[in-house]
Chain A
Amino acid sequence: QKEVEQNSGPLSVPEGAIASLNCTYSDRVSQSFFWYRQYSGKSPELIMSIYSNGDKEDGRFTAQLNKASQYVSLLIRDSQPSDSATYLCAVPPKGKLIFGQGTTLQVKP
């Protein structure tokens, strides 16, 4: 089992819809979880950090964490074409960030 797993996609949603990105992880001890956005040809950009069970909202983004199920998700409301990118989930077991393969999101106008 990979330490961090994501569906590679592509996930295609129409403009204005909710995009739901999912991530599962194997390390039961991890207490912090991160979502990065990476545009083609660019470096990853941190968009959300979540440390406790439940939801964390920041603008159009909501991160959801369920430690019992070892599952973290990212919801993007009112998706825009500018949200089209690869979204990477990262978990820091033993102090080093382990990334999933990323989910490619395509928002169609």
Chain B
Amino acid sequence: KAGVTQTPRYLIKTRGQQVTLSCSPISGHRSVSWYQQTPGQGLQFLFEYFSETQRNKGNFPGRFSGRQFSNSRSEMNVSTLELGDSALYLCASSLTSGRANEQFFGPGTRLTVL
């Protein structure tokens, strides 16, 4: 079974631009969560989508948004990029939503904001 895929793997943008990242979960998985990883803050939860609905949201500004499609694929958008948005963005999929579900990560998208 194929794992979680994320595209693109690398992105370079400039301040003020916007970016869209894509995630395809493991086949059969319906929940997709997004995380930001930086050396200083570690892994931080952005949001979770299940059945095209946002189920949970972390403490990030409204510039960070996401959506999920009927095939469970998800996209994350960051508008008005700031230097501090440079990070590894990780997508994780799980069978369903909820505390006990194991989450499996994709390879990540490395975003650099210049």
| A contact set with B: CB distance below 8 Å | 30-32, 34, 36, 42-46, 49, 51, 88, 92-102
Contacts and interface: CB of A to CB of B under 8 A. Distances in A.
Please tell me the size bucket of the interface on B: 20 to 34
Main secondary structure of the interface of B (DSSP, over half): strand
Given A43-B107, A46-B102, A51-B100, 6 more contacts: A31-B99, A34-B103, A43-B88, A44-B90, A96-B58, A102-B42
B40 to A, nearest CB: 10
B56 interface: yes
Contacts, number: 55
A88 B43 contact: yes
A44, A97, A101: which has the most chain B beta carbons within 10 Å? A97
Nearest to A42: B107
Given A95-B56, A95-B99, A96-B58, A101 B42 contact: yes
Contacts of B100: 31-32, 51, 92
In the A-B complex, the 8 residue pairs with the smallest Cβ-Cβ separation, listed nearest first, are A99-B43, A92-B99, A43-B105, A96-B56, A32-B100, A96-B45, A101-B42, A43-B108
Contacts of B55: 95
A6 B101 CA distance: 22
